[in-house]
């Protein structure tokens, strides 16, 4: 993937939870970030998965950023159970108000 390749992130509801899916133009592999509800207004980010074939390109970071954007727009908090999501929260202190 070049820096110019288009990345599209979509959100899919699955049961009570959901999954963010990153599709990269020209690639068959997808990155995902899964979440489960904890309580009203709180989502637990459980897994962020980016296959090696598309790794090292910032896909996981984009998935987390989309989750954070949705949290701000939809007024929910995030429990960063996934180590990668927790790391991104630590790196972005301006997200502190979104951490449950």
Asked, for residue 99, whether it belongs to a domain, the answer is no
pTM over 0.85: yes
If one counts the domains in the chain, the total is 1
Domain range for 30: 7-94
Q: How far is CA 46 from CA 3, 5, 17, 26, 55, in A?
A: 28, 27, 10, 28, 19
The 10s digit of each residue's pLDDT in 15-48 is: 999 999 999 999 999 999 999 999 999 999 999 9
- Quote the percentage of the chain above a pLDDT of 70: 96
CATH number of the domain enclosing 70: 3.40.630.30
Q: How far is CA 84 from CA 11, 16, 88, 100, in A?
A: 19, 22, 6, 16
- pLDDT value of position 28: 96
- Quote the percentage of the chain above a pLDDT of 90: 93
Q: Which residues pair with 78 in a beta bridge?
A: 43, 99
Q: Which residues pair with 30 in a beta bridge?
A: 23
- pLDDT value of position 3: 52
Interval 50-70 mean pLDDT: 97
Asked, for residue 60, whether it belongs to a domain, the answer is yes
Asked, for residue 52, whether it belongs to a domain, the answer is yes
Asked, for residue 30, whether it belongs to a domain, the answer is yes
Asked, for residue 68, whether it belongs to a domain, the answer is yes
């Amino acid at each position: 993937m070049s820096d110019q390749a288009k990345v599209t992130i979509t959100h899919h509801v699955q049961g009570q939870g959901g999954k963010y899916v990153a599709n990269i133009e020209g690639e068959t592999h997808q990155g995902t970030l899964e979440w489960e509800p904890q309580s009203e207004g709180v989502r637990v980010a459980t897994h962020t998965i980016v296959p090696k074939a598309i790794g090292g390109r910032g896909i996981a970071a984009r998935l987390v950023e989309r989750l954070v954007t949705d949290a701000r727009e939809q007024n929910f908090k995030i429990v960063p159970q996934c180590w990668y999501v927790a790391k991104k929260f630590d790196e972005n202190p301006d997200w502190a108000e979104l951490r449950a």
